[in-house]
Amino acid sequence: MYLYLPIAEVSVNLFVIFGMGGIVGVLSGMFGVGGGFLMTPLLIFYGIPPIVAVATEANQIVASSISGAFAHWRRKAVDFKMGTILLIGGIIGSFIGIELFVFLKNLGQIDLIISLSYVILLGSIGTLIFIEGMRSMIAHRNETLVQVKKRKDRTWVHSLPMRIRFKKSGLYISIIPPIVIGIAVGIMASIMGVGGGFIMVPAMIYLLRMPTNVVIGTSLYQIIFVTSLVTILHAYENQTVDVMLAMILMSGGVVGAQIGAALGHKLKAEQLRFLLGILILAVCAKMLIELAVEPKDIYMITDAIR
């Protein structure tokens, strides 16, 4: 069944889009990742204009992060104070990101920047997950324990000024690092249509030394509001949020996440991570190939904006 998307201005197969939402939903259910960093490239591969894919995916992430954040909130696993500081950074970053987006769009380079950002991001994340997965699989086979690095209690992060107390996380640290992390996440959300959890979560654990049990809930809390803002800013500045596309993705994602959560319990964690790494690297490779291979149309023709 085909459907004409009013903003993307292309006809799409409803089941393909629903299925893409579903598959990415399964992955997020299995791995606890948001999935934006897979969804946006898939939409672009399917023929959705990159600027529409980014803005619409931000809209979808709002829905998935709300349901996720609620689950963590019920388990009291959200540090609202830390989340709010990260959010302040996120708001600043979103505005910077949108300005950058509009600037690059007017230069005619936004599609290139979106693709390049994904190649870099997926390349590094994929490699990390892949290595990590390999290492733990080998370790598992040899039945030796992986040496856990003893973490230092204090790093340079803890000697910065403007310190405040975060009761929930049991920290007394400067607000500068979380604000900077928030800004980075906000910029990424605006330009790439991702929640940014995959950057925020490791940063919270390794840089801020937050306890792991509150990390995901806190990042989801921040993502809800940052992606909401990013959606509104894209709609306002670029008119690129396709609400019809977003709704199909949301419904696919809901179904997928339920299946994924059930599947996740049955499969071995290391194997899963290994698979996820391969998948991310494959998407990255496809993106890179599209940049490097001589394009079929040497001229990019669009309506002139006057």
DSSP per residue over 184-252, as a string? Answer: HHHHHHHHH----HHHHHHIIIIIS---HHHHHHHHHHHHHHHHHHHHHHHHHHH----HHHHHHHHHH
Smallest separation, CB 64 to another protein (Å): 7
| Ramachandran quadrant class, 294 (left: phi over 0; alpha: psi -120 to 50; beta: rest) | beta
Q: Which of 145, 148, 162, 305 binds another protein (CB under 8 A)?
A: 305
Smallest separation, CB 197 to another protein (Å): 15
For residue 273, the Cα-to-chain-centroid distance in whole angstroms is 17
Cβ closest to another protein, residue 145 vs residue 293: 293
Stretch that binds another protein, among 37-45, 62-70, 150-158, 188-196 (CB under 8 A): 62-70
Of the candidates 275, 182, 290, the residue with the CA atom closest to the CA atom of residue 230 = 182
Binding mask 18-57 for another protein (x = CB under 8 A): ----------------------------------------
Residues 222-251 interacting with another protein (rule: CB under 8 A) = 224, 228, 231-237, 239, 241-244, 246-247, 250-251
Residue with tokens 């939402």: 21
Of the candidates 249, 182, 239, the residue with the CA atom closest to the CA atom of residue 55 = 239
Q: Does the footprint of another protein cover residue 120 (CB under 8 A)?
A: no
Binding mask 278-297 for another protein (x = CB under 8 A): -------------xxxxx-x
Binding mask 190-229 for another protein (x = CB under 8 A): ----------------------------------x---x-
Stretch that binds another protein, among 26-34, 60-68, 178-186, 265-273 (CB under 8 A): 60-68
> 140 and 270 in contact (C-beta within 8 Å)?
yes
Smallest separation, CB 281 to another protein (Å): 18
Smallest separation, CB 208 to another protein (Å): 26
Q: Does the footprint of another protein cover residue 67 (CB under 8 A)?
A: yes
Side chain identity, residue 226: V
| Sign of CA pseudo-dihedral 18, 23, 29, 31 | negative
- Opening angle at CA 177, ends 112 and 56, nearest 5: 35
Angstrom distance (rounded) from CA 183 to CA 66 = 21
* Backbone φ and ψ of 199, nearest 5°: -95, -40
Q: Does the footprint of another protein cover residue 265 (CB under 8 A)?
A: no
Q: Is 117 helix (H, G, I), strand (E, B) or coil?
A: helix
Angstrom distance (rounded) from CA 182 to CA 185 = 5
Stretch that binds another protein, among 29-37, 108-116, 139-147, 199-207 (CB under 8 A): 108-116
Number of residues that bind another protein (CB under 8 A): 57
Q: Which of 70, 95, 128, 137 binds another protein (CB under 8 A)?
A: 70
Angstrom distance (rounded) from CA 213 to CA 169 = 9
Q: Which of 65, 117, 169, 219 binds another protein (CB under 8 A)?
A: 65
Using CB under 8 A, list all residues that contact another protein.
2-4, 6-7, 9, 11, 59-60, 62-67, 70-71, 74, 108-109, 111-112, 116, 224, 228, 231-237, 239, 241-244, 246-247, 250-251, 254, 291-295, 297-306
